[in-house]
Structure 1
C-alpha cells in the first residue's frame, strides 16, 4: 500500500518541479522571441535617457526621484557600485550620447556639450561645445551626424560637417525626442504630445494613431534599425507603412528607459529597478544569471 501511494506522489512531484523551473526562468515574449529577465540594479528613483557604451557595456542614465533629478549616473558592467557623474557647480547634466565611431561620450548640459573620459573618471567642462541648453542628443550611426534638442522650446539642430556650427533641422522643427533610421525615416514625439513619423518617401509628417496625449514616451532604435517605443507598460514597433503601431510586448510595470546592447539584450528601466532581458536560446531555455546586481 505504501509503495502504491509513492507511485501516485511521483507524478505530482514532477509537475511541481517543472512548474518551479518554469517560474524560475521568468520568460517574456518580445516580438517573435522569448527573453529571460534579470534584475541588474535597484535604485532610489527611476532611470531615463538610458545609453549603453558598446565598448564596455557600461550603462549611463539620468536618475529621477519624484519631481526632481538626481543627476547623471554610471552603472559599470561587472561592478557593484553606481557612480554619479559630477559636473561643474554651474552645469546640469541632462542627457548622454555615445559617438561609437570616434569613441567619444558626449554629455548634454544646460550650458553646452561636454565630454566624459573614463581615464579621468570625470566630465571635462573646461571647453564646452557651444552654450546651448541641450535636452537631448541623437547620433545617426549611418553617417555619424549629431543632432541636438535645445531649450524649453525643444528646437532641433544638427552639427554641420563635423564642425561645432549648428543648423536648424527643417524636417523636424521641434520635438521632445526623435530617431532616424538608416533609410532617413524620422520618428519623433512632437511638442503637442503626439507621435509622428516623417518617411523619406513623403513630403509631410504622419501622426500615429492609438496613443493618447501627454504620455511619457521612450523612443529608441534597436539593433535591427527599427524604431521601438515604450508607452506605459508596453513596447511597440513603429512602421512607416502603417499609422497603427505594432504591439510587441507587455510588461507588468511602467517603462521609463530602454537601451539595446551589442549582444541583443534589452535593458529596461522602471521605478526602483533596472532589468536586463536576454534572448533565450532553444538549447538553453533557462540560462543562469551571469550579470551583476548593484544598489544605490
Structure 2
C-alpha cells in the first residue's frame, strides 16, 4: 500500500522537477524549502500537538465546535487515529514526552498520569500531584519538567526528578513558554503580551508588533530557536531584537505546531494535520512515508 499524496495550492507556488520528471511544490520557511504532506483529515481542529521523537507518533487535542473531545494519538504510518483511554473522571489537557527517561506524561485536571502505548486505560491511581495541569514543558538540556497549572497559569518546576515542585520564580505566570539550552525564556504572559527573559538581563522585555493574541503556538526547533505561530504566519524569536522575524506564511490559520527530531514541522489547522518536510537538494521530491488517515 502506498501513501496517499496530496498537493494543495499555496501562494506563491514554486515547482521543482526531479530526475524522473515528478513535480512537487515548495514552501519556503526561513532559509529552507519544505514539502507539505497531508497526513490526517479530522472533524474539528487540533491543538497541543506533540511528536514522540522515538516513534514519530503524534499526540493532539481534538476540538469540535463548542467542546473538546480528548487527547488523540496518530501513530506514524497508521491508517487510524484513536482517542487516549483517559478515565471518565479525568480530563486530558496536555502531553509531555520525556524521551531521555522514556516516559509519556498526560496532564489532567487532577494531576499528571503516565501513559504507554499498550495501556487500555489511563487512571489516576497514582497521579503526580493533584493540580489542574494545563501545559507541560520538558527542558532537553537538563531534563527538568515544568508545568503550568490552573486558570492563573502559574509555573512550577519539578525538583531533582521527584514529585516535589517549586515555583518558577523567573516567570510567575504564563500561558505558554519555552526555555532554550542557554537559559533564555520566551513566553506569553497572561495578559496576552509576548516577552523574552534573557540570561543577560535582569528583567523581561516585551516584543513589539503583535496585538494581544492569547494562546500563541510556541515551540523550539532542532536548532534551539523559539518559533511561534500567529494566525497563518511563523516567526522566529531572538534575544537580540524586540521585533519577531517573520520566516513563513502558510496561508491558513494555524491551531497547533510541533517539531520532530528530523526538523519536520507538524502543523494543525481546521480539518487537517500537515507535515512539512525539509527538501534535500539531492532528493527534491521526498517520498510520502505517512499513510493519510481520517477521523
Normalised TM-score (structure 1): 0.91
Contact 2:48 2:95 in 1 (8 A): yes
- 1:233 Cα deviation from its structure 2 partner: 0.2
Contact 2:22 2:285 in 1 (8 A): no
CA deviations over 1:154-174 (Å, ceiling 9, x no partner): 111111111111111110000
- 1:23 Cα deviation from its structure 2 partner: 10
Look up the match of 2:6: none
Look up the match of 1:236: 235
Secondary structure class of the residue paired with 2:267: strand
Look up the match of 1:117: 116
1:20-35 alignment runs, 5 A limit: 24-35=23-34
Matches of 1:56 and 1:125, distance apart in 2: 25
1:1-296 alignment runs, 5 A limit: 24-296=23-295
Normalised TM-score (structure 2): 0.91
- 1:19 Cα deviation from its structure 2 partner: 6.8
Matches of 2:255 and 2:24, distance apart in 1: 24
Matches of 1:20 and 1:114, distance apart in 2: 47
Matches of 1:68 and 1:142, distance apart in 2: 36
Contact 1:116 1:124 in 2 (8 A): no
> 1:23 and 1:249, CA in 2 relative to 1: closer, same or farther beyond 3 A?
farther
Query: Any unmatched runs of 5+ in structure 2?
Result: 1-13
Matches of 1:161 and 1:262, distance apart in 2: 25
Query: Any unmatched runs of 5+ in structure 1?
Result: 1-17
Secondary structure class of the residue paired with 1:26: strand
Contact 1:215 1:231 in 2 (8 A): no
Matches of 2:205 and 2:151, distance apart in 1: 24
Matches of 2:203 and 2:66, distance apart in 1: 36
- 1:214 Cα deviation from its structure 2 partner: 3.0
Matches of 1:183 and 1:288, distance apart in 2: 36
Matches of 2:15 and 2:98, distance apart in 1: 45
Q: After the TM superposition, which parts of structure 1 deviate over 3 Å for at least 4 consecutive aligned residues?
A: 18-24
- 1:26 Cα deviation from its structure 2 partner: 2.2
State how many pairs are aligned. 279
Higher relative helix content? 1
Matches of 1:146 and 1:222, distance apart in 2: 18
Larger-gyration structure (1/2): 1
The higher relative CO (CA closer than 8 Å, separation ≥ 6) is in 2
Matches of 2:156 and 2:94, distance apart in 1: 15
> 1:124 and 1:102, CA in 2 relative to 1: closer, same or farther beyond 3 A?
farther
Contact 1:115 1:125 in 2 (8 A): no
Secondary structure class of the residue paired with 2:127: strand
Q: CA RMSD in A?
A: 1.7
Contact 1:208 1:245 in 2 (8 A): yes
Contact 1:216 1:232 in 2 (8 A): no
Look up the match of 1:10: none
- 1:120 Cα deviation from its structure 2 partner: 2.2
Q: Could you tell which deviates more after superposition, 114-123 or 173-182?
A: 114-123
Contact 1:149 1:155 in 2 (8 A): yes
